[in-house]
Structure 1
Amino acid sequence: MGELVEKATLLVVDDTPENIEVLSGVLRSCYRVKAALNGEKALRIAAMEPRPDMILLDVMMPGMDGYEVCRRLKADPITAHIPVIFVTAKATVEDELEGLQLGAVDYITKPISPPIVELRVRTQLALYDQQRELERMVQVRTEQLVQTRLEIIRRLGRAAEFKDNETGLHVIRMSHYARLMAEALNISAQWTELVFNAAPMHDIGKIGIPDHVLLKPGKLDDEEWLVMRRHPVMGAEIIGDHDSELMSLSKEISLTHHEKWDGSGYPHGLRGEQIPLAGRIVAIADVFDALTSERPYKKAWSVEKAVEIIEKDAGTHFDPSLVPVFLKTLPEALEIKARYGESSHG
């Protein structure tokens, strides 16, 4: 047996019960029909789940007329998408034009012709179904593009990290630490996700640092240190200028995550709240992970020692108001550290 196709629901709005009965009689065999005798009730029914697939709306009604009902339907995001067909005795060109300008998809004059009503309802429902399917396809494609872009950003971040950390797990851990802190600040879910997805690009500029500097097992000399300090600017240049919020934040983080609260950081010596909030968050996340991870030039420090350093540097290196936020998120950060540890992914 073939699948049963659920009937579309139509809402018929008319202040005369006889008119509702006539339209219902024409449409009942093919559609589920609801009715409303006034504009206020029509608006309530239209906003209720499941919403009607189409509204057939009389114009001349006492109190709120059909034009006003249509205006309110189109002004409310919940009901704006529902197609409206005016069914009315007002048959002048001006009347029809007013109805269409309000957003109606069609205009049927009374007395109605049943075959015409059936045809126009069927046509407009088919167009509406097609529109919904196109919108669904666009949404799916947009989500795919967003996911692809996020994956490219993550992979680029890991590519930079591979130069001095063979697993590339640093960018995963520190981006999770950054998200925990952003979440604790409760700014917005959208901004939290932006920070999480932009953080992996913080060290993309390392791609431009020569290996003999980046991978040096000992302490950098003054000249080598000058070369190393160029990577935030290199990263910003690699990312470039974009309208995308994600790319803009990635650039901002790349450029500012080595600035320090007291103005002694680089590349621009920004101080305090001159440093963007995302840069201040990533500074803590990045340093905590760097301290607790093994690098060519150092052994991994204990969590206790790393936390002690971060607490000591509150107000000099780090935003003093963010350090307590980091400490609050530490239990979850340690779960992330264990999940994405180097030894477990070696």
Structure 2
Amino acid sequence: MYEMTTDQHWVRQPVIMIVDDQSTNCHLLAEISHGFCPAGNILSFDDPLAAVAYANSHQVDLVLTDYRMPQMNGVMLIRSLRAMKHLIDPPIICITAIDDQQVRYDALNAGANDYLSRPIDYLECAARCRNLLNMRRFQLATLQHTKELEERVEQVIQDLEKKKMETLFRLAKVAEQRDTDTGAHLNRIGRYSALLSRRMGCDESFMAILEMAAPLHDIGKVAIPDSILLAKRSLTPEEWDIMQTHTIIGHAMLSGGDSEHMMVAAEIARSHHEKFDGSGYPDGLSGQDIPISARILAVVDVYDALTSKRPYKEAWSGKNAREYLRQQAGKHLDPELVNIFLADEAGIVEISSTIN
């Protein structure tokens, strides 16, 4: 007698909720509902409070509610359902035998999409319900499509961010390999930074950002002349002033973007030579005023520099490097971060032994 309301494109079985304290009315509306939506999950409630309780933890796609009911009338029910954000505004039809224009206004103002008067015209009721349920199907399909598009856009953004960071990482390697014999230092710095941030209880997002941003800390060295960067002698005060500008240059190279990766990379580039006691450069920051990302980098950079073989020195043992970090706690390095880092000796050894 009644046409099916939908094709097969529902993302799930549609749920139709009928609320009426009269069982005969529930049966009638259920029969009509089966006619226009034979595949639907049709639920009848003779207690509006039970209907509200169900809707509070389930999805509903169409609501047919009587107006005059004990404990809670139809307008109150509609307001309760509209307050449930997880329902995402399902269509609601208020049905009543009361010939009162004010009741109609109240129901529509409360959030009803339509209003039917008793006695019910079966064909009209089926047509109105079918139209509203189709609108609901389109609404859910649009939301699903929007979600998929947002996920695709987010993936594209992440891919672009990764490619950008990879490009900068290669540039950082150029700077690194001008004054060392290996680029593995950068990889270890990223891994050590992620290790320390994990031990600190940082969230996965920050850990991932830090692992990508940390290797860019010395990117400003690309602008330092070879005569200074590669000098095998003590630098003059003027040359040391130039050497220190790699922090400002690196910050300028990485600043200006709106991605969190670049913002973290920029603050690390500028502040990774600050010291906990305030004796570092370029801004003379101390303690908690130094960005946490730069304090993390300082700990792992010192450790890796000590334990790495360079043209001008042999690698320190892990034991000696750990003792040096303890000596620098509160001076050069954040003492709390030193303790956290050194507490995971197994993790440190794993990284140092696999990236060389």
Deviations 1:3-50 (A, max 9, x none): 9977523140413333433333233313222344444433443354xx
**CA offset at residue 119 of structure 1?**
2.7
Deviations 1:171-190 (A, max 9, x none): 33212212222222225444
Is 1:63 the equivalent of 2:71?
yes
1:31 aligned to which of 32, 40, 49: 40
Q: 1:27-176 alignment to 2 at 5 Å?
A: 27-28=33-34, 29-48=38-57, 51-52=58-59, 54-58=61-65, 60=67, 61-66=69-74, 68-69=76-77, 71-73=79-81, 75-76=83-84, 79-81=86-88, 83-89=90-96, 94-95=105-106, 97-100=108-111, 106-110=113-117, 111=120, 113-165=125-177, 168-176=183-191
Structure 2: unaligned runs, 5 residues or longer:
1-7
The residue type equivalent to 1:31 in the other structure is: G
1:13–1:38 contact (8 Å) kept in structure 2: no
Q: Partners in 2 of 1:217 and 1:64 — Cα distance?
A: 86
Q: Partners in 2 of 1:169 and 1:212 — Cα distance?
A: 24
Q: Partners in 1 of 2:72 and 2:159 — Cα distance?
A: 46
Q: Partners in 1 of 2:280 and 2:53 — Cα distance?
A: 59
1:53–1:82 contact (8 Å) kept in structure 2: no
Q: Partners in 2 of 1:21 and 1:200 — Cα distance?
A: 69
Partner SS state of residue 133, structure 1: helix
Q: Partners in 2 of 1:293 and 1:69 — Cα distance?
A: 70
1:159–1:168 contact (8 Å) kept in structure 2: no
After TM superposition, the score normalised by the length of structure 2 is 0.79
After TM superposition, the score normalised by the length of structure 1 is 0.81
Q: Percent identity?
A: 30
Aligned residues: 332
Is 1:223 the equivalent of 2:238?
yes
**CA offset at residue 292 of structure 1?**
2.1
1:254 aligned to which of 269, 278, 281: 269
Q: Partners in 2 of 1:306 and 1:191 — Cα distance?
A: 27
Deviations 1:229-253 (A, max 9, x none): 1111112211224554443322222
The residue type equivalent to 1:223 in the other structure is: E
Partner SS state of residue 83, structure 1: coil
Residues 58 and 276 (structure 1), Cα distance of their counterparts in 2 relative to 1, 3 Å cut: same
Q: Structure 1 residues 238-247 or 130-139, which shifts more? A: 238-247
Structure 1: unaligned runs, 5 residues or longer:
none
**CA offset at residue 82 of structure 1?**
5.5
Find the counterpart in structure 2 of residue 14 from structure 1: 19
Q: Structure 1 residues 329-338 or 238-247, which shifts more? A: 238-247
Question: Which protein is bigger by CA-based radius of gyration?
Answer: 2
Is 1:333 the equivalent of 2:342?
no
Find the counterpart in structure 1 of residue 5 from structure 2: none
Deviations 1:85-133 (A, max 9, x none): 3333387673464244xxx6x3342435212212321232123212212
Q: Structure 1 residues 188-197 or 131-140, which shifts more? A: 188-197
Q: Partners in 2 of 1:213 and 1:54 — Cα distance?
A: 71
Deviations 1:237-278 (A, max 9, x none): 112245544433222222211101111111111122221222
Residues 241 and 68 (structure 1), Cα distance of their counterparts in 2 relative to 1, 3 Å cut: farther
The residue type equivalent to 1:315 in the other structure is: G
Q: Structure 1 residues 190-199 or 115-124, which shifts more? A: 190-199
